[in-house]
Amino acid sequence: MLGHYGPARHVYPDSTLLRHGDSGSCYYLPHHPVPPPTPGQEPKIPFIGPEDSEMALILIVDDSSFQRRAIRSLVRQAGHETEEAENGRAGLEKAAARKPDIILTDLLMPELGGLELLEALSEQGVAVPVIIITGNIQESVRQRCLELGAAAVVNKPVRQEELLPAIEKALGDAT
């Protein structure tokens, strides 16, 4: 079913579906032509996304693959790159290897929880904003996270209107 189809039609009325399948869809968007490169220069490909935004690398640390997937979807929709880890120990290793701009971590995980991850990052001198994502709504837990240096504490289930402003604030505070 090629031609005018799908959600891109609402945003780009002149779009044409070139390919549709299990791996996603490919559209031709005439509103964003790529100019021909000047001889000796790399072609310039226009950025199609939120205006005035920079892509940050965000490490998502959660033992629940469902939660990681849900958070990844929100973060990528906001125009950021993601990396994932299934527990705090793996998160600590990936933080050292990839140098993320922000870490989003669950509080309770096997091997190394969110609080222990915060402490380990501090001990290693890694200065990266950490946002704790938790189902625990006790004020004492929230306060302990903030005392250990968390940039924010966001409740589960994660909502876009709570998570994205926390990410943007942490990115702004880090610069």
pLDDT in tens, 69-81: 999 999 999 999 9
43 in any annotated domain: no
Show the domain range for 23.
Answer: 1-33
154 and 110 belong to one structural domain: yes
> Rounded to whole angstroms, how far apart are CA atoms 170 and 151?
6
Into how many domains does the chain fold? 2
164 and 88 belong to one structural domain: yes
pTM higher than the cut 0.85: no
pLDDT per position as a tens digit, 19-52: 545 545 554 455 444 555 566 665 454 444 444 4
Contact 4, 16 (CB under 8 A): yes
